[in-house]
Structure 1
Amino acid sequence: MLWKQRLHNKSFIVDNQLAILGGRNIGNEYYRNSAVEFADLDMIHRGAVVAQISHEFDRYWNSPLSYPAESIIIRAITSADRQQLKNALTKAADSVAGQQYISRLKQSSLLEHIASGWTHWYWGDVAVYADEPGKILAPVSDRSTHLFPRLLPYLDSATRELVMFSPYLVPGKEGVNFFARLVNRGVRVVLITNSLASTDVAIVHAGYSKYRKDLLAAGVRLIEVKTQAEKGRVHKTITGSSRATLHAKFFIIDRRYLFAGSANLDPRSALLNTEIGAIYDAPEMAEDFISGLRRLDSGGFWELKLAENGIQWFDCNPDCRAISNNDPESSVLTRMGIVILSMLPIEQQL
C-alpha cells in the first residue's frame, strides 16, 4: 500500500559544486529556531562526489513516480496569494524571534570559513548509496531496490569497533542477532539513541524498548540521550545541544569508515521509506569523530546495564551510578502507554 511509504531522502545541491547530505529536514526545529530542537549531522561535500549526489537527485526528479505540483494542486496561484505570502514572510523576519535568528545567522562563522578557505576538509574515497525510486512499488520481500543490503558488507567488515547513532532504533530479532555475532567476534558495539524522555515519537520507542534486554544480554553497549542538561547548568550533551532531541543518523566502523545519511536503524527506513547516504573511507575524519564524542560531556546521556531485576539506568556525571530501574524522567502513565504500544503488531511500520 503506497500510503505506508514516503520519500525520506535529504540532499541539498548548489550549482553541482557543493552538496549536503544528512538527516536534517527543512523546518524551524531543525535550524535552532524552535522550542523543540533536533540535533542533527550534516556532511558538506565538494569534488567528484557532488556529481554522485546530484545523480541520485535526478533519478528521483525524473522518475515516473514523481509528479509536478501543478498536477496535484489544481487551484491557480493569484497575485493576491503571492502578496499574502510575501507579507507573512516579512512579518516573520521582522518579529523579535525572526530578528534574533537572523542575528545568529550573521554571527555564524561557517560561511566565512568556507569562503576564506579556513575550513578543514577531509579528503578520501566516498560512495553514495540510495534506495531505488521504485522501492515503494516492489514487494517488501524484494531487497534488490534497497539501500541497506549495500551497507551490510561495511558493517559486517568490522573487526574492532562499531559506533552507531540512530534516533529511532528498532533492530528486530534479525538486528539483535547481527550485533550479537559482531560482539562474539570481539567487536565493541555501541548503539546510541533517544531515551523515552527525549524521543519525539513514542510509538517508535515502544518498538525499541522491547529489544533493550536482548541487546544488553548480547554484550552491546546501549546509550540513551537525555532530553536536556541538568537544570542550572549550561553544557553540551552528546547531541551537541543542551536541550535537543537526537536526530542524526551515522555510524563509524573501526575508525576508518563513516556513514552519514537519512536512514534510521528501523524497519521503516529499511523496508518502506526511500533513503540516501554515503560511506566515507576517511580514517582521519572517523578518528576525529570518535575524539569529538569523547570530549562531549558525559552528563548528556544515560547508559543502560542489565541487573538481576531488569535494566538499570546509570548517570555517568561525573561517576557512573545507578539512578533508576525505569526510564528516567518519565511518568508511570507514559511507561504504561509504551508497554501497551509495544504489544501492537505494527513493528514493520516503525
Structure 2
Amino acid sequence: MPATNNRYPWRSGCEAALIAEGEQALAVRLALIARARHSILAQYYSWEEDVSGKLLLGALLQAARRGVRVRLLVDDLYSGSNRYLESLAAEPNIRIRLFNPFWLRLARPWGWPLEILFSFRRLNHRMHNKLLVVDDDWALVGGRNIGDSYLGLGRERHFVDLDILIRGPVCADLVSDFLGYWRSRWSHVLHHLSWFRLPESLALANNAFLLHLMEPELARLFGVEPQLLAVDLPPLHWHPVSAQAFMDAPGKGARLRRQPTAAGRALLAQLDGLQQSLDIVTPYLVPTRHFYRTLRRMIRRGCSARVLTNSLAATDMPLAYAGFRSRCTRLLKTGLSLFELRPEAGRCLHAKLALFDRRSLLVGSLNLDPRSFYLNTEIALLLEGASLVAEVEAWLEQQLIAQQAWSVTLREEGISWAGSAIEPETSAWRRGLIRLAGWLPVHHLL
C-alpha cells in the first residue's frame, strides 16, 4: 500500500457494494433513509428540484417525523434555488446549511455577476462532495448528485455514473469529516433562500406534497415505479474490503497557495507506486502539471494506462472538453490509451474512478481537471478488495467495447477518432467553438 499522507488509517472489516445503475442508486438512497433510526448526514454539490430530488426530500421528511435527526449540507451554487429545502428547514428534526452562499439572493442567478465581481476568489471555491451517511454505519460515496439525470429518471440526458455503498469502521471517519464541514465558517444556517422568507402556509403545503409524493399511487404519475419506494435494500453484491477515506478541509481552494486536493494527492501517490497498469474514468480530462508529470513517469517505467472520458458529442461541459482538446496530443504522446464515450441515447459520462494494478480502487467526486485538484473540495474512498475491483473492472470493460466508446489515437496527420479526423457526431459550429475556447486561459475556472 503506497503512502498517501492521509490523517485516517486503513480500516479493515468493511463491506462494499457497487451501485452502477441510476434507478438502483435512487432505490438504495430511499431504502437507506427509510431504514434510518438515529441520524442521517447528507452532503451534496447539487440537489435538483425535480422528481428524484422531491422524492428524497420526502423520504428525509418522513425520517425526521419518526424521530431521526437529519442534517443536510448543500452547495449554494446549484441547490440554493430549491425552495423545498427552505420548507424542510422549518421541521424540528431537520437542519439544513448552505456551503459558501451567495449573499445577493434577489433575481438569482442574474445578480451573480455583480457579486462575483467583488468576491470572485471566495465564490469560486465550491463544495463538490457527494456523501450520505445513515446511523453512522452506512455510507454512500460516488459521483452522483441528486437529480433525475443521475438517478435513472432523466428523459433527455442519462449520466453514466457510479456509487459505492459501504458499511463498517470507515463510516466513522466520514462522519468526522462531515461534522468538520458542518461546524466550519463556510457552512451557514439556511433561514431563507430569497430576500423574503417562504410563507408558513406555503411551506406546510410543500411538505404535505413531499409526503404525498412518497405514496406509490402518486409517485407512479411522476414516472416512479412502486418498487423504488421499497423499505428493503435492492439485491446487492457485497464485497469484503479495506477502506481509507479522503476528504478535503472546508477551506481548501480559498487559499492563495495551490495544493492538490486530498483525493488528488491519494491518486498521485498511487501512481508513483504502480507496477503494471492504470485505468481511469473521468468525465473531464484537463490534466494538471502534477498529474501529467506523474503519469509520464509511470508510463516510462513500463506501466500501461487507459483513460475513458466524454466525447465532444456526449459532454455536458464543452469548455472542459476544449481544455482536454488542447492537451490531447501531448497526452497521447506519453503512450496513454484514450477512449471517448459515445453519446448513445443521451448518455453522458459522470463517473470518477481509478483502478491501480487491478488490486485497488479510488472512487468519489474527483475529476481530472484543475477545479477538482485545486479549487473545489472533494471526497473519495480508496478501497482494496479483489472481488470489488473485479466487478468494477468488468463494468469498465463494458463501457470500452466498440459500441460504447471510440478509440482516440495519434497519427502522422493528427488526432484520429475511430479512423475519423474530426470528432464524430458533432457539427462544424460546435467544433469551431471548441477550438476557439481552447485558446482561452480559463481552464482553471472549469
Q: TM-score, normalised by structure 2?
A: 0.67
* Paired letter, 1:266: D
Are the structure 2 counterparts of residues 83 and 110 from structure 1 closer, same or farther at C-alpha, using a change threshold of 3 Å?
closer
Deviation at 1:178, TM superposition (A): 2.4
Give CA-to-partner distance per residue, 1:81-134, whole Å, 9 cap, x none: 12442576558987797443234625x898243xxxxx3321121100011112
Could you list the structure 1 runs, at least 4 aligned residues long, displaced by more than 6 angstroms after superposition.
Answer: 91-97
Are the structure 2 counterparts of residues 186 and 109 from structure 1 closer, same or farther at C-alpha, using a change threshold of 3 Å?
farther
The match for 2:357 among 254, 274, 278 is 254
Q: Any residues of structure 2 matched to 1:132-143 within 5 Å, and which?
A: 132-142=249-259
Gaps of 5+ in 2: 1-120
Counterpart for residue 125 of structure 2: 5
Give the secondary structure class of the aligned counterpart of 2:252.
helix
Q: Check if 1:283 corresponds to 2:403.
A: no
Q: Check if 1:332 corresponds to 2:436.
A: no
Are the structure 2 counterparts of residues 16 and 331 from structure 1 closer, same or farther at C-alpha, using a change threshold of 3 Å?
same
Deviation at 1:268, TM superposition (A): 0.1
State which drifts further: 333-342 or 77-86.
Answer: 77-86
Give the secondary structure class of the aligned counterpart of 2:403.
helix
Counterpart for residue 272 of structure 1: 375
- Does the 8 A contact of 2:355 with 2:362 survive in 1? yes
Deviation at 1:243, TM superposition (A): 3.7
Give CA-to-partner distance per residue, 1:228-277, whole Å, 9 cap, x none: 0xxxxxxxxxxxxx542110000000011100000100000011000000
Cα distance in 1, alignment partners of residues 148 and 338 from structure 2: 30
Give CA-to-partner distance per residue, 1:177-222, whole Å, 9 cap, x none: 3222211111110011000000001001000111111111110000
Give the secondary structure class of the aligned counterpart of 1:129.
strand
Q: Check if 1:101 corresponds to 2:224.
A: yes
Q: Check if 1:223 corresponds to 2:359.
A: no
Cα distance in 2, alignment partners of residues 98 and 162 from structure 1: 45
Cα distance in 1, alignment partners of residues 257 and 313 from structure 2: 32
Q: Check if 1:347 corresponds to 2:443.
A: yes
The match for 2:281 among 165, 176, 192 is 165
* Paired letter, 1:214: R
- Does the 8 A contact of 1:21 with 1:277 survive in 2? yes
Deviation at 1:51, TM superposition (A): 1.0
The match for 2:325 among 190, 195, 209 is 209
Cα distance in 2, alignment partners of residues 109 and 185 from structure 1: 50
Q: Any residues of structure 2 matched to 1:1-350 within 5 Å, and which?
A: 1-34=121-154, 35-70=156-191, 75-86=196-207, 89=210, 98-103=221-226, 105=228, 111-113=233-235, 119-142=236-259, 146-228=262-344, 242-296=345-399, 297-314=401-418, 322=419, 324-350=420-446
* Paired letter, 2:408: L
Are the structure 2 counterparts of residues 27 and 292 from structure 1 closer, same or farther at C-alpha, using a change threshold of 3 Å?
closer
Cα distance in 2, alignment partners of residues 163 and 109 from structure 1: 36
Give the secondary structure class of the aligned counterpart of 2:351.
coil
Are the structure 2 counterparts of residues 337 and 110 from structure 1 closer, same or farther at C-alpha, using a change threshold of 3 Å?
farther
* Paired letter, 1:42: D
* Paired letter, 2:392: F
Gaps of 5+ in 1: 114-118, 229-241, 315-321
| Count of residue correspondences | 322
Cα distance in 1, alignment partners of residues 218 and 425 from structure 2: 34
- Does the 8 A contact of 1:140 with 1:272 survive in 2? no
Are the structure 2 counterparts of residues 101 and 155 from structure 1 closer, same or farther at C-alpha, using a change threshold of 3 Å?
same
Deviation at 1:147, TM superposition (A): 3.8
Give the secondary structure class of the aligned counterpart of 2:171.
helix
Give the secondary structure class of the aligned counterpart of 2:358.
coil
Deviation at 1:15, TM superposition (A): 1.2
Identity across aligned pairs (percent)?
A: 31
Deviation at 1:175, TM superposition (A): 3.0
Cα distance in 2, alignment partners of residues 170 and 97 from structure 1: 41
- Does the 8 A contact of 2:314 with 2:348 survive in 1? yes
Are the structure 2 counterparts of residues 122 and 91 from structure 1 closer, same or farther at C-alpha, using a change threshold of 3 Å?
closer
- Does the 8 A contact of 1:140 with 1:271 survive in 2? no
Cα distance in 1, alignment partners of residues 221 and 275 from structure 2: 49
- Does the 8 A contact of 2:319 with 2:443 survive in 1? no
Q: TM-score, normalised by structure 1?
A: 0.85
Give the secondary structure class of the aligned counterpart of 1:134.
coil
State which drifts further: 194-203 or 25-34.
Answer: 25-34
Deviation at 1:347, TM superposition (A): 1.8
Give CA-to-partner distance per residue, 1:273-306, whole Å, 9 cap, x none: 0000010022332123223333454310000111
Are the structure 2 counterparts of residues 92 and 16 from structure 1 closer, same or farther at C-alpha, using a change threshold of 3 Å?
closer
